[in-house]
């Protein structure tokens, strides 16, 4: 199984401009590369900020299913990612936003993941997963208002790995240094443990 973990995860950059600390949208480029090689790509974004650059790139395309769980645009930049932003044209229904309320905790977040994301994965049957694991959704992040522990990201990675499909996992936001390091370390440990490394 292909498995790749990268620090980057620049999900805000647009085709013609940098945005939100992101100068190049490596996630979009990866998704395009995989889809051009005939793969059904499922992009899953767990960053506290909505991945507006990825949404824009595939909004009118069904080549990539884009799912984003993020703090509501009513309370956090970039002010996008509402539930009615579902794609258009051939991409209608392939863009799913799950805006979350302030202070959401692990239990509720994982319930949302089970209720909405798992059925979407099962219906879409992807060939490959591309994950953006922003750690700014963790409690204490100075730029966001969610209350997750690093166990949530690790649990979600564990569930994705059970599909036994290739996965590209990237970092992303995370502005509390210690929490971000611990979060990525636990997420990576979960991946390696799954593969017996």
Whether 12 sits among the annotated catalytic residues: the reply is yes
Contact indicator for 69, 113 with CB cutoff of 8 Å: yes
Pairwise CA distance, residues 176 & 174, whole Å? 6
Q: Which residues touch 172 (CB under 8 Å, ≥6 apart)? A: 8, 9, 10, 11, 45, 47, 132, 133, 134, 135, 136
Going along 40-187, which residue ranges are E strands? 41-45, 64-71, 95-100, 128-132, 167-170
CB atoms within 10 A of CB 175: 17
Q: How many CA atoms lie within 13 A of 141 on its CB side?
A: 29
Pairwise CA distance, residues 162 & 155, whole Å? 11
Of 11, 12, 49, 176, the active-site residue reads: 12
Catalytic residues: 12
């Amino acid at each position: 199984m292909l498995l790749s973990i990268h620090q980057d995860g620049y999900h805000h950059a647009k085709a013609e401009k940098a945005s939100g600390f992101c100068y190049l949208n490596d996630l979009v480029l990866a998704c395009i590369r995989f889809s051009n090689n005939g793969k059904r790509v499922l992009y899953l974004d767990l960053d506290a900020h909505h991945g507006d650059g990825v949404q824009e790139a595939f909004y009118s395309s069904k080549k990539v299913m884009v799912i984003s769980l993020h703090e509501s645009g009513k309370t956090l930049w970039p002010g996008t990612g509402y539930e009615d932003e579902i794609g258009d044209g051939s991409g209608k229904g392939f863009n799913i936003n799950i805006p979350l309320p302030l202070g959401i905790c692990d239990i509720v977040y994982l319930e949302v993941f089970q209720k909405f994301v798992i059925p979407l994965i099962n219906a879409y049957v992807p060939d490959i997963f591309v994950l953006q694991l922003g750690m700014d959704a963790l409690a204490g992040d100075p730029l966001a208002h969610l209350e997750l522990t690093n166990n949530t990201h690790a649990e979600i990675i564990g569930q994705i790995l059970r599909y036994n499909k290739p996965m590209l996992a990237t970092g992303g936001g995370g502005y509390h240094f210690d929490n971000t390091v611990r979060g990525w370390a636990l997420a990576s440990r979960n991946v390696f443990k799954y593969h017996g490394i």
